[in-house]
Amino acid sequence: MNRNIAVAVVVAGLFALGLLFSCVFIVTQTQQALIVQFGAPQYVVSDPGLHFKLPYQNIHFFERRLLNLDAESEEVIAQDKKRILVDAFARWRISDPLRFYQNLKNEKGAMERLTPIFSSNIRRVLGSRDFADMLTSHRSDLMHQIRYNMNQNVRAFGIEFADVRIRRADLPTENSQSIYERMRKERQREASEYRAEGDETAQRIRARADREVVVIKAEATRESSILRGQGDAEKTRMLGEAYGQDPKFFSFYRAMRAYQDALSGDNTTVVLSPKSEFFRYFGEGPGGGDGKRSK
pLDDT tens digits, one per residue of 133-144: 887 878 889 899
Q: Are 286 and 255 in contact (CB under 8 A)?
A: no
How does pLDDT run across 83-92, given as a tens digit for each residue?
Answer: 888 889 999 9
CATH of 67-177, one of 3.40.50.720, 3.40.50.620, 3.40.50.1980, 3.30.479.30: 3.30.479.30
The per-residue pLDDT for 295 is 36
Q: Give the count of beta carbons closer than 10 Å to the beta carbon of residue 145.
A: 17
The more confident residue out of 237 and 112 is 112
Confidence of residue 75 (pLDDT cuts 50, 70, 90): confident
d(CA 140, CA 206): 51
Burial 89-99 (b: 16+ CB within 10 A, else e): ebbbebbbbeb
- Closest Cα to residue 165, out of 185, 197, 142? 142
Indicate the pairing of strand 74-77 with strand 83-94.
antiparallel
Rounded to two decimals, the pTM is 0.54
Residue 102 has pLDDT above 80, yes or no: yes
Residue 287 has pLDDT above 60, yes or no: no
- Rounded to 5°, angle at Cα 23 from 17 and 26: 110
Q: Are 59 and 25 in contact (CB under 8 A)?
A: yes
Phi first, then psi: what are they for 164, rounded to 5°?
Answer: -135, 130
